[in-house]
Amino acid sequence: MHSRRTLLTSAAAAAAACATGAAAHAAGPAIGRQPHSPDAAPAPAVLARLRALISRMTPEEKVGQLFVMRVYGHSATAPDPADAAANQKEIGVANAAELIARYHVGGIIYFGWAHNTRDPHQIADLSNGIQKAAADQRVPIPLLLATDQEHGIVARVGAPATLFPGAMALGASGSRDDARTVARIAGEELYAMGIRQDYAPDADVNVNPANPVIGVRSFGADPQAVARMVAAEVKGYQGAGVAACAKHFPGHGDTDTDSHVGLPYIHHTAEEWERLDAPPFRAAIAAGIDSIMTAHIVVPAFDASEDPATLSRPILTGILRERLGYDGVVVTDSLGMEGVRVKYGDARVPVLALRAGVDQLLNPPDLALAHDAVLKALKDGELTWPDIDRKLLRILLLKERRGLFADPYTTHRAVDRAVGTRPHLATADRIADRTTTLLRNDGGLLPLSRRREREVLVVGVDAAAPSGTGGPPTTVLAKALTELGFTATALPTGLTPTQAQIDQAAAALRRRDAAVIATYNVTADSPQRKLVGALLATGKPVVQLAVRNPYDIAQLAGVEAGLASYSWTDVELRAAARVIAGQRNPRGTLPVPVMRADAPAVVLYPIGHGLTY
């Protein structure tokens, strides 16, 4: 057994389109597939047409185009009664069609919890219904339909769509080709469902192990490695006709606060930012990224006012627009997150964001309030119409580039030809086989032997993976190991096992040959440590698998065999099972350093560490 990498760093049209969506589309996303080049100016005829379109819009229509909004329901016109009631309560409309008619929104974001993503055919029908509603407006402008499909732990569209390893798992493989392939296939499947923007890839460099919101959503802690993977995914998504979105500018990787619930501070100096945070965003821009998402974080080195970056003109205009030379679409992170709401009220936030340099306002908590506030700021002169028109032109050019004016619709046939196909699923498994990382294997405990360790107890976390992407982990692992010739039994014990659960697990292991425990972000005071200790005390072989952040091993000194899968989704758990069973060699290597628990400044396992059989 040996370590296979050295330490890299320790820290670091719509109106003309067929209204029924039956336009020929089965051949896949042929329109708009060329990646956007930041140096390629749009054709004069295109600019003239889009500017003429803007000139026909009323003030209300122009302002509406700046918003990307949530809406509940599986259908654009006939959601379930509970979803219609939720829409009335939160937005004042019953469905997506009414949302478009009243507010003229430029985009809609799909969520699983909003019941937008039940299955691929339903998603395609919802997309077509939304585009039909847009085509019926006085000034017909197709909507940019978006979602967060990062893969790994963030996936809004579940099976039967293809689910891939997430960013940090891909970082463990180190393969730009795999990153490009994942994004290309994911883009093709999203396109087939009518989704033309993915809020991915994550361009944050996760240099803080305590980061509660990024973690495995990042490709790793090496800025240059992250930059290479980000550029590869940008080319993959946009080569498939889907706008990519690098997030979260200017970099959310070194924080211990979740911007969903608080306002994080990033205390990097300008020089540290240039070295640690900037490279992935520079790479995304060089690759022709269509959109960049802002972060609700404070960077005092760049803005002494301590406004969050989403509302900071020095950051969004001074750095992103002027220093980095980016002239694509800038979209806020969700305006419902606490990080952007703690300093200003919900009426001020959209105005300040537009003043800072934002083009699209994502998911405000009160759309009517935000819409009226922007109109009032224009009337009062705080915002200007020429600047709004420039923002609209960027948005419309993105829609043009992604083929929405030519044909915004899709078909069930397109879905069937692209989504969750056998070749795509097989590719996901092959890529996952290159990501599982073996961190410790004292005494050659792994791989387990079907003769010595036939009876395997699988314990640990039991939360289902997001949006139908699989789980619970103990069930998936037990099933996979059983299919590989073991007799495996699942005994879920959760994130905080009780003493009774710990005793039950230890007693169950005494009747078996070995245990596999799925751990999840183990801390010094986590009951998971006590569970691992009780299992080790039986004297039976214990294999630990970190199913989220790979840092767990530092808290589990007695474990002889430890692996990282970087997610608890099915595709990564099945790959880990193949490694545990010896069907595959572990090929992943750490994309982040693991520090000692008792000496956090000391590296336990460096970037590049990974054992093989």
Give 323 or 257, the one with higher predicted confidence. 323
- pLDDT at position 261 is 73
**Does 449 lie in the same domain as 366?**
no
**Does 475 lie in the same domain as 370?**
no
CATH number at residue 440: 3.40.50.1700
For the chain, the farthest-separated pair of C-alpha atoms sits apart, in whole angstroms, at 78
Residue 564 lies inside a defined structural domain of this protein: yes
Residue 142 lies inside a defined structural domain of this protein: yes
Inter-residue contact 541 to 514 (CB < 8 Å): yes
Q: Whats the size of the chain, residue-wise?
A: 613
Inter-residue contact 308 to 296 (CB < 8 Å): yes
| Secondary structure of residue 374 in the 3-state scheme | helix
**Does 155 lie in the same domain as 278?**
yes
- pLDDT at position 463 is 65
Residue 49 lies inside a defined structural domain of this protein: no
* Amino acid occupying residue 453: E
Inter-residue contact 591 to 217 (CB < 8 Å): no
**Does 67 lie in the same domain as 213?**
yes
Residue 180 lies inside a defined structural domain of this protein: yes
Query: Which residue among 383, 418, 453 closes a domain?
Result: 418
**Does 303 lie in the same domain as 212?**
yes
In the set 333, 359, 433, 513, the catalytic residue is 333
Over the Cα atoms of the chain, what is R_g? 24
- One DSSP character per residue, 234-252 reads HHHHHHTT-B-EEEEET--
**Does 447 lie in the same domain as 408?**
no
Query: Which residue among 388, 418, 448 closes a domain?
Result: 418
- pLDDT at position 202 is 96
Distance in angstroms (rounded) separating the CA atoms of residues 22 and 153: 34
**Does 452 lie in the same domain as 382?**
no
- pLDDT at position 41 is 77
Q: Note the pLDDT tens digit of each residue in 563-581.
A: 999 999 999 999 999 999 9
Residue 29 lies inside a defined structural domain of this protein: no
Q: Which residues have a Cβ under 8 Å from the Cβ of 404 and sit 6 or more positions away?
A: 13, 14, 32, 142, 143, 144, 196
Q: Using the predicted structure, report yes or no on whether residue 28 has a pLDDT greater than 80.
A: no
Question: Residue holding tokens 């004016």?
Answer: 405
- pLDDT at position 8 is 32
Inter-residue contact 604 to 596 (CB < 8 Å): yes
CATH number at residue 366: 3.20.20.300
Q: Note the pLDDT tens digit of each residue in 396-408.
A: 999 999 999 999 9
Residue 236 lies inside a defined structural domain of this protein: yes
Give the pLDDT band (50/70/90) at residue 500: very high
| Structural domains counted in the chain | 2
Nearest Cα to 430, choosing from 240, 165, 186? 165
| pTM for the predicted model, two decimal places | 0.91
**Does 451 lie in the same domain as 400?**
no
Structure tokens at 224: 């240059």
The b/e string for 353-381 (b: 16+ C-beta within 10 A; e otherwise) is: bbbbbbbbbbbbebbeebbebbbebbeee
**Does 244 lie in the same domain as 107?**
yes
| Secondary structure of residue 357 in the 3-state scheme | coil
Q: Note the pLDDT tens digit of each residue in 530-548.
A: 999 999 999 999 999 999 9
Q: Which domain holds residue 180?
A: 60-418
**Does 142 lie in the same domain as 289?**
yes
Respond yes or no: is residue 333 known to be catalytic: yes
- pLDDT at position 5 is 34
Q: Note the pLDDT tens digit of each residue in 214-248.
A: 999 999 999 999 999 999 999 999 999 999 999 99
Structure tokens at 178: 């795999």
Q: Note the pLDDT tens digit of each residue in 160-179.
A: 999 999 999 999 999 999 99
- pLDDT at position 468 is 54
Q: Using the predicted structure, report yes or no on whether residue 1 has a pLDDT greater than 80.
A: no
Give the pLDDT band (50/70/90) at residue 254: confident
Inter-residue contact 181 to 428 (CB < 8 Å): no
**Does 310 lie in the same domain as 357?**
yes
In the set 260, 372, 389, 416, the catalytic residue is 260
Query: Which residue among 353, 384, 418 closes a domain?
Result: 418
Which residues is 514 bridged to in the sheet? 456
Q: Note the pLDDT tens digit of each residue in 74-132.
A: 999 999 999 999 999 999 999 999 999 999 999 999 999 999 999 999 999 999 999 99
Inter-residue contact 402 to 241 (CB < 8 Å): yes
Residue 430 lies inside a defined structural domain of this protein: no
**Does 506 lie in the same domain as 378?**
no
- One DSSP character per residue, 536-602 reads HHTTS-EEEEESS-GGGGGG-TT-SEEEE-S--SHHHHHHHHHHHTTSS------SS-EE-SS-TTS
Residue 27 lies inside a defined structural domain of this protein: no
Q: Which helix (H) or strand (E) covers residue 483, if one does?
A: helix 473-483
